[in-house]
Amino acid sequence: MKVLAIETSCDETAAAVVEDGREVLSNIISSQIATHKKFGGVVPEIASRQHVEAINTVLDQAIKESGIKLCDIDLVAATRGPGLVGALLVGLSSAKALAYAIGKPFIGVNHIYGHVCANYISHKDLEPPFIGLIVSGGHTYLVKVRDYVDFELIGRTRDDACGEAYDKVARAMGIGYPGGPVIDRLAKKGKADIDFPRVMLEEDSYDFSFSGLKTAVINYLHHMEQKKEKYRVEDVAASFQNAVIDVLVDKSIRLAKRERLNKIVIAGGVSANSALRERLKESAAKEGIGVYYPDLGLCTDNAAMIGSLGYYVYKSGKIDGDFYARPNLSL
């Protein structure tokens, strides 16, 4: 089954053709990072307008690169949420119109599930069940993946998403946007010798909270500036990142042990973080747990992961018929 997929939930306009959920025939992404960088974050109205400008070109490139014709497509899939409502509407409208024009079925899918499916493309032998750690700029979830489209939500952030905390800390340090890659790079040159809090919440809780940690970093920066004392941004980056990763690793491994599962899958933009990958893999190995993460090009928003998810949703028959944009769509 060949799935033509569209992803426009935030600031990437993407289209892909995926075969049987795991083989990527094409994967085209038009990023808006350069546009939003000067604002220090994504401006929803600008994002929507740029999606309108890019969508047809991206679709044409995806079909051309796949080596197939539109008539060979079996299914059209698009992200219906969560995300920016204006951005979602561009992708959904294009996908619905295209599916109608070529007489093929259409389904709208959950962007968060899609991030997990990126791992099926990178790891052809990976199958559920496993523990999923989904960490991105807008979302932080800890889930039990029972089957391809059967997720149990066990933990989530109560305030800032993990990637959001990275962006806000980077903005406070004046080191640029997006914050994740910059902090990860600087942390490799720094010493994690600043005692920032590890927020574990209640005993046995699998929820997350990054707002207090973000505030602690900002307060540290203000305190140093008021005292006119110098600090190394590399040390702040390393100390902040260590505090984040300690919590993510601890809760992920603890949940895997509780559920007696020997696989942890990382997904979302923050899954590209080198320190998170290394630390989780090293700590999990001591418990006999394997760790999986997508290729770097599949960590951030892309349409290949939506094509993979579209395939598994369609094959499962669990289609709820809700094909409207749902900016606050949950698991």
Q: What is the mean pLDDT of the chain?
A: 95
> What is the number of residues in the chain?
331
pLDDT digits (tens, 9 = 90+) for 78-98: 999 999 999 999 999 999 999
- The per-residue pLDDT for 76 is 98
Asked if residue 75 and residue 134 are part of one domain, the reply reads no
pLDDT digits (tens, 9 = 90+) for 169-209: 999 999 988 899 999 999 999 999 999 999 999 989 999 99
Structural domain boundaries enclosing 89: 2-116+299-316
User: Counting Cβ atoms within 10 Å, is residue 45 exposed (0-12), middle (13-18) or buried (19+)?
Assistant: exposed
- Mean pLDDT to the nearest integer, 45-74: 96
Q: What is the DSSP string of 25-85?
A: EEEEEEE-HHHHGGGTS--HHHHHHHHHHHHHHHHHHHHHHHT--GGG--EEEEEEESS-H
Number of separate domains in the chain: 2
Asked if residue 157 and residue 183 are part of one domain, the reply reads yes
Longest dimension (CA), the chain: 68
Asked if residue 141 and residue 106 are part of one domain, the reply reads no
Whether 330 maps to a domain, the answer reads no
Question: In angstroms, what is the C-alpha Rg of the chain?
Answer: 20
- The per-residue pLDDT for 285 is 97
pLDDT digits (tens, 9 = 90+) for 265-324: 999 999 999 999 999 999 999 999 999 999 999 999 999 999 999 999 999 988 877 789
Asked if residue 77 and residue 54 are part of one domain, the reply reads yes
Asked if residue 101 and residue 142 are part of one domain, the reply reads no
Residue 183, both tokens: 């902090």
